[in-house]
Amino acid sequence: MTDTAQAQPEDRALVRIRGLTTVLNGKVVFDKLDLDISRGKVTAIMGPSGTGKTTLLKHITGQMRANSGEVWVDGLNVGKLSRQALFDLRERIGYLFQNSALLTDFDVFENVAFPLRQHTRLPEVLIRNIVLTKLQAVGLRGAASLTPAELSGGMARRVALARAIVFDPMLILYDEPFVGLDPIALNQVLKLIRTLNETLGITSVLVAHELEAIKQVADHVYLIANGKVVGQGDPKSIEHDGSPWTRQFFGGEADGPVPFQYPAGDYAEALGFRQGAV
């Protein structure tokens, strides 16, 4: 096999994470974590609360540095980028925050225009055309003059998505995009994610807990727990792979590899009992 052929699997990954180890406040969040995010696909990151899913997104954007290991995005080693190179990379990554994070003092138009005004010197007419194009893509061009307080939860999420794609990013990171949405709004957001991914050739990473929603939109699922990937595969079949991790997580079982009790010292000793006491 030639060197070119050997490199092909790596070339298909927009994000490559190798040996990622992260320790926060004495707790191991990632323990030599390895995973790939394929170009042009929708990849879901799932796992119990507190396993570092949002932290993983912060590593991809360079907001956090690991204790060891490497994060590569589009061939760039994020941990070794200069400040300016990191800013340049972030302009190619869209980020949909939890709870949308719209600016309450701005209307819908100005929320979407905000990144353009902060990072470019485009003429006003061009900013207007870009913003209206993105709002049209999410079905909210007619809501341009509304304030965030006038939006439903689903509309706010769609405005945030319009803002996330304002620079035509190569990668969009979605942090809990389905939380608090009613069934209609959820289906609208699911359709948008899939449509944008296919029409714009975007690579998408979803952090979410809703397996039924993930089944409709994702191409691949990683289940993260105990600092590692403990399951991965097709979203329609991963829950039946026979792993105790997937059985507990997707079955909602209280007992399993993920303990109910947070690690603690001896219970009797904590209550003040001494060995041999009556």
Q: What is the pLDDT of residues 58-107, one digit of tens each?
A: 999 999 999 999 999 999 999 999 999 999 999 899 998 877 889 999 99
Q: What pLDDT is stored for residue 278 in this prediction?
A: 47
Q: What pLDDT is stored for residue 272 in this prediction?
A: 76
Q: What is the distance between the alpha carbons of residues 20 and 94, in angstroms, rounded to a whole number?
A: 22
Q: What share of the chain is helix, strand, coil (3-state, %, to 5)?
A: 40, 25, 35
Higher pLDDT, 17 or 230: 17
Asked if residue 277 has pLDDT above 60, the reply is no
Lowest-confidence pick of 194-203, 225-234, 256-265: 256-265
Residue 88: count of CB within 10 angstroms of its CB: 12
Over range 151-178, report the average pLDDT.
91
Q: What is the distance between the alpha carbons of residues 136 and 125, in angstroms, rounded to a whole number?
A: 16
Say what the pTM is: 0.82
One fold for 1-38+46-90+219-250 and 95-170+177-202: yes
Q: What pLDDT is stored for residue 252 in this prediction?
A: 62
Q: What is the distance between the alpha carbons of residues 61 and 90, in angstroms, rounded to a whole number?
A: 6
1-38+46-90+219-250: which CATH topology? Rossmann fold (3.40.50)
Lowest-confidence pick of 111-115, 230-234, 236-240: 236-240
Q: Please, what sign has the CA dihedral across residues 220, 226, 228, 231? A: negative
According to DSSP, residue 142 is labeled: G
Q: Encode pLDDT of 9-36 as tens digits.
A: 446 899 999 999 999 988 889 999 999 9
The pair of structure tokens assigned to 237 is 């079949």
User: Class of 95-170+177-202 per CATH?
Assistant: alpha beta
Q: Encode pLDDT of 100-111 as tens digits.
A: 889 999 999 999
Q: What pLDDT is stored for residue 274 in this prediction?
A: 61
List the one residue out of 246, 233, 241, 177 whose CA is nearest residue 205. 177
- Percent of the chain at pLDDT above 70? 89
Domain ranges of the chain: 1-38+46-90+219-250, 95-170+177-202
Asked if residue 256 has pLDDT above 70, the reply is no
Lowest-confidence pick of 122-126, 143-147, 188-192: 188-192
- Give the pLDDT band (50/70/90) at residue 153: confident
Q: What pLDDT is stored for residue 1 in this prediction?
A: 36
**Helix or strand run (H / E) with residue 129:** helix 124-137
β partners of residue 23: 28
Q: Which residues contact 214 (CB under 8 A, 6 or more apart)?
A: 44, 46, 206, 208, 221, 235
Over range 199-224, report the average pLDDT.
91
Using DSSP bridges, classify how beta strands 228-233 and 220-225 pair: parallel, antiparallel or unpaired: antiparallel
* Order of strands across the sheet that contains 27-38: 27-38, 13-24, 68-73, 76-77
Over range 152-157, report the average pLDDT.
89
Mean pLDDT, all residues of the chain: 86
Q: What is the distance between the alpha carbons of residues 178 and 10, in angstroms, rounded to a whole number?
A: 31
Asked if residue 244 has pLDDT above 80, the reply is no
